[in-house]
Each structure stands twice: as C-alpha cells, then as structure tokens.
Amino acid sequence: MNENARNKIVEKIRDMPTLPSTVAQIISVTNDPEASVDDLKKIIEADQVVAGRILRAVNSAYYGFPRQVDTLSKAIVILGFNNVRSIALSVSFMELFPMKSPNSFSYIQLWAHAVGVAHCARSIARVFNPRQTEQYFVAGLLHDIGIVAMNQCFPDDFINCYNTAVKLKRPLFEVEVERFEFDHADVSQFVADKWLLPASLSTAIGLHHRPHEAKDNDKIVYAIHTADIICKTMSFGDYGDNAPFSIDSIHKPAAKMFEITHEGTSGNLKKSIAEDLKEAEGFVKLFD
C-alpha cells in the first residue's frame, strides 16, 4: 500500500474498533505450539458471548450429538481444538462490527464468502504448509473485513461502487480504486496493522487482489488470493462481483505453486477443499 493511500484511509477511517482481548489471546494461543486445550478454555470462559456460541454450536443439528452438551470442557473435547478455535475467532470478529448494513448492501453473503475463503485457505495450508493452517484460516476470515469498514464509514460512495461493479460485471476492488484511490483490501490491511496482527497475515490480507506485489511470505499471500478466487468461481458467498472471475484469474505463479490448471484443482488439494467447503456450509449456519 502506498503512503498516499494509507494517509487517505487514516483520514477517513478513524474510529475503527480495537482488537478485543479475547481475539488477541486466541491468536496468541494459536501461534503457541505448547498451548493446550485448557489454555484455550480459560480464555473462552472469560467471554460469555463466545462461550455461549460454542455451546450452541456443539448442540446444533450440524454436529448432531445425541446428548445435550452443557459444559465448555465437554464442548472442547467433542468439537476438538481446531473447531473451537475457529468458532471462537469467528464469533469474536463478528462482534467487532455492526452486522446491520447502513444501506442495501448485505453482509450475509459477505460473511459466507469470508467463511468459505477461511476454510479453503486452510485446505491449501493442509496440503502445502501444514504448520500454518490456523494462520491461513484467520487471514481468510479477515481478508474482506475492509468492506465492512468502508461501508460503515462512507456508505453512499461505497454502495455506488458496489452497484457499478454489479451492473458492469467488474471486480469491486477495481471500481473502489477508481473512486477512492484505494480498495477494501488496503483497508483490511490497515485494520490488521492497527490490531498488531502478525505481518504475514497483514500482508496476505492486503495483497489478496495484488499477489504479484508479494515479496516475502508469498505462500500465504498466494493462498488467500487463490482461496478467494476459488470461492468466487464456486459462488461460495456472493456479495455481487463473482461474475468477472474464473479459475484462470488465479495469479499464474500461485496456480503453479498449488498445482492448479485451467481445469481447476486436483489430487489432495481438490479433495481437501471439497471436504472443507462442505464443513464451511454447516459452519455458516451456526451464525444464522
């Protein structure tokens, strides 16, 4: 992101919410290979909203357990460390922003897309970088958070961009750059930087539409970019600009890295994505 774009974002987006301590602690646990389930439980117990949502999740039809689960400890054991962590992060991020749009733009499909990209990115990590699955998940979940920020801060200009993108079947980020001189990926990166998220996550979030600018940590940048395109081509969530994208929209070095051809994914990655997006479908329903 160039300095001019950053200054414009700072000027217009002043009152971004801070990162809740729950999220910060969950991310810290995520990055600690020595962390235990008990460490995670202690964090979640201190946040009634997150704890309640996890209990709701474990007792939902999606998981289908025959007996009512009434304690957080049981829920963590049943759901597993990764599922609990994903749900906790998702709930915490959703609580950051008002999910009621100030105009006709709907956050429902945006959220579905974010969940899809998070799961798809995690699939890519499982095959190509298994030590960083949760980092990829978090980056995927947050990659479009700038859309919410832009829509809240300047709803009239943003909805005009959205309507133009839909009408002309153009990528939303291209129309945003023409109107604002920056796009939602820039704003997402600004938010990630403000929250002091790891540089690798911030960069992946900020460059998911410009992967050719990646210099370091290109694997996670390419993964979020690729997961975003895959979910758009599969219409996993659609906030209006899926039409311009195809599998060939994937940056060629990224496609080569993840062994993707013009026919799509193959082998272990194809299987992993199919399984994870099926899981994501149920995951989205947990937040209805």
pTM to 2 decimal places: 0.88
- Residues 45 and 99: their CA atoms lie apart, in Å, by 24
Predicted pLDDT of residue 212: 96
Predicted pLDDT of residue 104: 86
Provide the 10 A C-beta neighbour count for residue 15: 7
Q: Are 269 and 124 in contact (CB under 8 A)?
A: yes
Q: At 272, is the secondary structure helix, strand, or coil?
A: helix
Predicted pLDDT of residue 197: 86
- Torsion (CA) 115, 211, 258, 230 in degrees, nearest 10: 40
Predicted pLDDT of residue 15: 66
CB under 8 Å to 235, separation ≥6 — which residues?
Answer: 242
pLDDT values of the chain reduced to their tens digit, one per residue, 288 residues: 567 666 767 776 766 677 778 888 887 887 777 888 888 889 988 888 888 888 888 888 777 777 888 888 888 888 887 778 778 877 777 776 666 788 888 888 898 999 999 999 999 999 999 988 888 999 999 999 999 888 888 889 999 999 999 999 999 999 999 998 899 999 999 888 888 888 999 999 999 999 999 987 799 999 999 999 999 999 999 988 999 999 999 999 999 999 999 999 999 999 999 999 988 888 787 766
CA 149 to chain centre: 14
Q: Where in the chain is the domain with CATH 1.10.3210.10?
A: 99-288
Predicted pLDDT of residue 196: 83
Fold entry, domain 99-288: Hypothetical protein af1432 (1.10.3210)
Number of H helices, E strands in the chain: 16, 0
Backbone dihedral angles phi then psi of residue 32, each to the nearest 5 degrees: -105, 110
- Residues 158 and 202: their CA atoms lie apart, in Å, by 23
Q: Are 286 and 56 in contact (CB under 8 A)?
A: yes
